[in-house]
Amino acid sequence: MPPRKKARLTDKTASSDKTDNGKTASVAGKEEKAATSVGKNKEGSKSAGSAEYSHWLMKSEPESRFENGIDVKFGIEDLKGLPDQTSCWDGVRNYQARNFMRQMKEGQLAFFYHSNCKEPGIAGIIKIVKEAYVDHTQFDKKDVHFDATSKADNPKWSMVDVQYQRMMKRFLPLSELKKYHLQHCTSGGPLKDMALFTRARLSVQPLSSEEFDFILSLEDKEPL
């Protein structure tokens, strides 16, 4: 569901980010707890703070769909076609998804997932090129994702910038990932806890390195 984009990048207003994160953290305290406990189990839950993930999956809709007369279509081909093949990932309006975006670090990789379409699945790989900053669309009355409850002095929503890296060598359909997931639920394989299946509707989700690597390995296999 997330973004509908217009290649709008890095503005100077982004300098207020850190303070924003600090302030809103207390506002959204409950949700943060939920999200961190969710993201706890896998890699590096060593430090008392948040679990450290370094790989992600981000959903977007590659087919036209109109929300208040605005087309929310944004597939990987759209990202690829933008200047510098880079875009902000605006429009996320779910606290868990937002909190995961706030954990993202520059240089980390994410799968670009096509949702709500003929063939849902993983289409390619993107890279986080700018860490979380204020999502300006929450203040824009014309925007599909305008949020009247968010105040300029304490913004609720964040976004990151992502850059196209490459297409998958072959498209990895949801149906195939699901087969592995089910298989792994009995066999104990790497996809048994994959958020795509255990956390319905979450549009930005973490992957363990094992999950990420396993999915990458599917590129060179025959479709299941």
> Which residues contact DNA by CB under 7 A?
1, 31, 59, 93-96, 115-117, 120, 149, 174-175, 178, 199-203
Name the residue nearer to DNA (CB basis): 16 or 171: 171
Rounded Cα distance between 174 and 187, Å, is 19
Residue 156 Cβ vs DNA, minimum distance, rounded to whole Å: 10
Q: Which two tokens stand for residue 81?
A: 């076609």
Tokens 């300006």 correspond to 136
Residue 81 Cβ vs DNA, minimum distance, rounded to whole Å: 22
Q: Which two tokens stand for residue 149?
A: 């409850």
Name the residue nearer to DNA (CB basis): 94 or 209: 94
Name the residue nearer to DNA (CB basis): 91 or 190: 91
DSSP 51-82: ----EEEEEE--S--EETTEE----HHHHHTS
Rounded Cα distance between 7 and 194, Å, is 31
Residue 190 Cβ vs DNA, minimum distance, rounded to whole Å: 20
Name the residue nearer to DNA (CB basis): 134 or 202: 202
Query: Strand 158-173 vs strand 70-71: parallel, antiparallel, or unpaired?
Result: unpaired
Residue 51 Cβ vs DNA, minimum distance, rounded to whole Å: 17
Name the residue nearer to DNA (CB basis): 64 or 175: 175
CB 205 within 8 A of CB 100: yes
Residue 2 Cβ vs DNA, minimum distance, rounded to whole Å: 7
Question: Number of helices (H) and strands (E), helices first, in the chain?
Answer: 7, 8
CB 78 within 8 A of CB 63: no
